[in-house]
Amino acid sequence: MTGELLKSLNLNAGLKDLGIEREKLPKIAKEAFTTMKFAMENNPVTVSEADALKILEASY
């Protein structure tokens, strides 16, 4: 539903649309644990680097 709303408003929501290169996703996932350490530690759900990469890939 969110995707449909964004499309109806002519908004791009994917990481690809934002100019993120797909091959950089593993590095982004890895660096999330150093640059956003506080957010990762306080997330109510434990997220691994592999989980972060899956989320990024789904957002691509």
- Summarised one tens digit per residue, pLDDT across range 16-25 is 988 999 999 9
Asked whether the predicted pLDDT for residue 1 surpasses 70, the reply is: no
Q: What is the pLDDT of residue 37?
A: 87
Which range marks the domain in which residue 38 is found? 2-59
Q: What is the mean pLDDT of residues 24-41?
A: 92
What is residue 51's three-state secondary structure?
Answer: helix
The pTM (predicted TM-score) of the whole model is 0.73
Question: Cα dihedral sign for 28, 32, 34, 36?
Answer: positive
What average pLDDT does the segment 22-48 reach?
92
Residue 5 scores a pLDDT above 90: no
Structural domain total, the chain: 1
